[in-house]
Structure 1
Amino acid sequence: IGDGVAEDVLAARKLRAIRIVADAAGPCGMVGGQAIDLEAAGSARTFDAEGLRAMHARKTGALIRAAGLAGATMAGADGPQADAIGRYGSELGLAFQIVDDILDIEGASADLGKTAGKDAAADKPTYPALYGLDASRAMAAACVERALDALRGAALEGQLPAIARWVITRTS
């Protein structure tokens, strides 16, 4: 039935979405960020701000960005809306990771589902180790504001703003 054009468009979108997620999971994304993280253990005092941002952008940021972009791709979004979703995901991922670093210090192991204090014990570079807790909180909030600005600029509504706000108020 039909001439197959719709199926071809959908197949092309699926392929593009798969590539987006695969790239985000690979060596330039999560795997690369995790490799940096593992190599950085024991170097919290010598790790610089740019290295820390790059590590976190690859780990969590790349995957959250990819999830948004894959969804936008499947929905047929392109141009400004896809760019906005990408910026939203990158900023949200960084905010999530900064809050994760904070929770490693302030959270309870039972709430976190992992042992609190592991980053400090391993002398891992974290935002609180580099900037302190208050500055780290402010940086996470600034990331969320940039994520929300990206959505506003593309007139995107729905649950995305609530998700962004949750990231900086979560306790686990």
Structure 2
Amino acid sequence: MSFPDVLKQDAALVQARLNVALANHDDVPVVQAMRYALQGGKRLRAFLVLESARLHGLAPEQAVAAAAAVEALHAYSLVHDDLPCMDDDDLRRGLPTVHVKWDEATAVLTGDALQTLAFELLCDPALGPADRRLALVAGLAKASGAEGMVLGQALDIAAETAPAPLTLPEITRLQAGKTGALICFSAEAGAILAGADPAPLRAYATALGLAFQIADDILDVEGSEATTGKRVGKDAEAGKATFVSLLGLEGAKSRAQALIDEAAAALLPYGDRASALIEAARFVISRQS
């Protein structure tokens, strides 16, 4: 099966699990908005959870709740990031953002509900023994909180009023939190579920997460709204320092490719079993959205 087919198959599996999680909820605006925010997307993080589980001999059914949790957490972050007080975006995945389609209060509550749904999903007994579920809860909390994604977003907001543009090390730290932390958790989740050493997957995902953000910066320059499903050129308009502004377009592309090579090298202990994860790394810097 080709990598795009695997990605689609995993996306469908995760969407079905998310649909089940919300099936018995009252059909109020905030739940409608949750379903809306959970549709579409590449589901790359969910794929990383499921593929890292397969790498350790676990069936998708044993990991799908964790994959769904990551996507719920990711959706929450997008809903909140799009708010006027944050990145102020009106388009996400080719559709109006939640606060545009509903209102700001609904968007805030939708993000809150998606975040708590993520931790509810990690309590699913199908994920295995209680100690491993607890490790997943702790890992996702750390990746998404003030040591991870929230820290990255806070640094990004602070940079908007900083007296000087961020340096390369500062941008790298910012994006390691805002984008990389959740990608790292996703790739490590399968090892956590299997009670295995997550170190090789952590090294893989650290490089992958940074390459992912560099690719995003490149798309903000070279991409179009029609293909990316969101506004482009915002960073340049705002005068924000990015990997492209600091490294140049070709330098950023070269750095992204070097990181993908680094990610692939980290998977050598797994041999041919890691081929899908290597394909995922290549996809990250060749995607158009």
TM-score by length of 2: 0.53
| Alpha-carbon distance in 2 for matches of 1:168, 1:44 | 32
5 Å-filtered alignment, 1:10-49, equals: 10-41=129-160, 46-49=165-168
Aligned pair in 2 of structure 1 residues 42, 117: CA closer, same or farther (>3 Å)?
farther
Following the alignment from structure 2 to structure 1, what is the Cα–Cα distance between the partners of residues 281 and 183?
Answer: 11
Matched, 1:121 2:237: yes
CA drift of 1:61 comes to: 0.9
Q: Which region of structure 1 is more displaced relative to structure 2, 13-22 or 40-49?
A: 40-49
TM-score scaled by length of structure 1: 0.88
Q: Name the stretch that deviates more: 44-53 or 145-154.
A: 44-53
| Structure 1 segments (4+ residues) deviating >6 Å | none
Tell me the amino acid that sits aligned with residue 149 of structure 2.
Answer: M
Q: Which moved more, 1:145-154 or 1:84-93?
A: 145-154
Which of 258, 264, 285 is matched with 1:148 structurally? 264
What CA RMSD, in Å, does the superposition of the two structures yield over aligned residues?
1.8
Quote the Cα distance in structure 1 between the aligned partners of 2:189 and 2:269.
20
Q: 1:170 — aligned with what?
A: 287
Stretches of structure 2 lacking an aligned partner (at least 5 in a row): 1-125
AA of the residue aligned to 2:241: P
* Paired position in structure 1 for 2:121: none
Deviation for aligned residue 1:72: 1.3
Which amino acid letter does the alignment assign opposite residue 39 of structure 1? Answer: A
- 1:105 maps to 2:221: yes
- Structure 1 gaps of 5+ residues are 1-6
* Cα shift at 1:53: 0.5
What's 1:160 paired with? 277
- Superposed displacement of residue 47, structure 1: 1.3
**CA separation in 2, counterparts of 1:99 and 1:23?**
25
- Cα offsets for 1:65-117 (capped at 9, x unmatched): 01111221002212xxx101011111111000000000000000111111110
Q: Name the structure, 1 or 2, with higher relative contact order (CA <8 Å, separation 6+).
A: 1
2:244 and 2:136 mapped to 1: Cα distance? 34
